[in-house]
Amino acid sequence: MDFKEKVAELFLSIEKEMTMDEVVQMIEIPPNQDMGDYAVPCFKFAKKYRKSPAVIAAGIVEKIGRHEEFDKIESAGPYVNFFVDKAHFAEKILKQAFKEYKKYGSTNIGEGKTVIVEFSSPNIAKPFHIGHIRSTLIGNSIHKIYTYLGYNTIAINHLGDYGTQFGMLISAYKKWGNTEVVEAIEKNPIPELLKLYVRYNKEIETYPEYRDEARYWFKELENGNEEAHKLWAWFREVSLKEFNRVYDMFGIKFDSLAGESFYSDKMPAVIDELEDKQLLKDSEGAKIVELQEYGLTDAVIQKSDGSTLYVTRDIAAAMYRKKSYDFYKNIYVVGAPQKLHFEQWRKIIELMGYDWANDCVHVMFGTVSLEDGALSTRQGRVVFLEDVLKKAVEKTAEIIEERNPNLENKEEVAKQVGIGAVIFQELFNNRIKDYMFSWDKTLSFEGETGPYVQYTYARTCSLLRKAEIEVDDNVDFSLLTDKESFNVIKKLEGFKSAVLVAHDKYEPFYITRYIVGLAQEFNRFYHECPIVVEDESIKKARILLTKIVNIVLKVGMELLGMESPEKM
């Protein structure tokens, strides 16, 4: 039972002209329990009834009367306050959670719907750096949330494996790729390819013609030049090996690695269709779609040398995905700087007559900067993501050695906690905000952190082991009406809502904040209410509550992409 909906039902029995959604939106959670568990303000009815909100609230209370789910319903000034029957509330919530187990908080809203989530998408032959952490982790969590809610969810890593930068790399390799360079690339691919890329960009300042050479080799790659394709395939292969090490550390799997190159043979059909629909215009030898009347800059579809651009490839990719997957939503987890690009190609699809253009969703996020300035691949200013994860694991291992040197599986726990700390910190803030990467903040183990939530989960595991009883929901729920127990149960009731809001807003931080709050409430309960006690009835009731917290914390962490060690 959703008690918020029950409040709305009772209110609707009086205010029949309103809808369920309208009343649910009005319901507030009072700042302290003395004011009730739910409250409905009556200000908006003053004009309708020509009475003060306080008089209206008192009248509504009188008409509603008593109901078994609520201990009392009373007015306080302009508010109608609902106090739930604590034992009844505890029974409903905990029995439902125990029955649904790991599906508690889930719904079937995604049944029969396919959702694509495109995320991570690093550029081949470039470092997988801290700047990629946002798309990678936000996208992975959104993928997990949608899967949890019953969608058929497809994870796509749209690799940046095409474009002029490959012309630069091919040209650079042909200039400086001696035996020594080949051996270095095989041994340490990304840093060595980065050196070539950085060097080429610097040399362009002295030799501007190098820019034209890079364009030439990319055009040759598009035209199927055997030498260019062979080098490109090698760059892609060695890069993927590097990327997969990081994905393995995060536990991330993709259903498709179809990057930009996959659509190279699908772009001529897009250009033909744009021509047929009279959307293409000539502009100094290039082909463009005019978009200024829609408040956007014109989009170049094909350059004067015949080569294509990101926008062309993204149109081809979206059309291919619709045809292949018939998606309900096509979600792109891509940084805010790509907003114009996204709006351009989506508008073009709309102008082509495809109404599913509106099902393509750009989930934006802010940028990451370093404490001493912005990231720049061209200048070689990067922090490798793999180094961040390794350092997090090392620091965690040091803390374990200091606090719990006899812990079993220390190395495994250090990985789970260290990497979990990085994931949690990344997903703790609103995704649209820019933030500065800080080693100290990321690897902090105090306060509202991943290790704190993991430690609380490990505590619940320890209590369940220590209790040595089979957990069931046949308990005396009146023993869970004290303030600390009830606060935990109220928090548990909110899990479904947190998951749905995260789903609706494409915002994992709602789950991150939720599980921190649940961990805090449980720890207060743990300190105030001894759990493994002599009294069998009390022990059974409190162990049931502990078990449900254990389940919800684990599911919450899974939705973020974190692991949950049972001992810490």
222 forms bridges with which residues in the sheet? none
CB-based contact 50:60 (threshold 8 Å): no
CB-based contact 557:457 (threshold 8 Å): yes
In degrees and rounded to multiples of 5, residue 219 shows phi and psi of -65, -40
CB-based contact 44:78 (threshold 8 Å): no
Segment holding 73, helix H or strand E: strand 70-76
* Rounded Cα gap, residues 456 and 441, in angstroms: 20
What residue type is 521 in one-letter code?
A: E
CB-based contact 259:162 (threshold 8 Å): yes
Work out the angle at residue 554's Cα, subtended by the Cα atoms of residues 549 and 559, and round it to the nearest 5 degrees: 125
Residue keyed to tokens 């890329």: 197
**DSSP label of 129:** B
129 is catalytic: yes
CB-based contact 431:363 (threshold 8 Å): yes
Under DSSP, is residue 544 helix (H, G, I), strand (E, B) or coil? Answer: helix
* Rounded Cα gap, residues 86 and 485, in angstroms: 10
Work out the angle at residue 61's Cα, subtended by the Cα atoms of residues 491 and 39, and round it to the nearest 5 degrees: 25
Residue among 86, 92, 126, 287 flagged as catalytic: 126
Sign of CA dihedral 198, 199, 204, 205: positive
Work out the angle at residue 531's Cα, subtended by the Cα atoms of residues 526 and 535, and round it to the nearest 5 degrees: 150
* Rounded Cα gap, residues 258 and 240, in angstroms: 12
88 is catalytic: no
126 is catalytic: yes
CB-based contact 449:560 (threshold 8 Å): no
Residue among 129, 322, 329, 540 flagged as catalytic: 129
CB-based contact 332:342 (threshold 8 Å): yes
Reduced 3-state DSSP string for 340-387: HHHHHHHHHHHHCCCHHHHHEEEECCCCEEECCECCECCCCECCEHHH
Residue among 4, 132, 158, 287 flagged as catalytic: 132
> Mind telling me the catalytic residues?
126, 129, 132
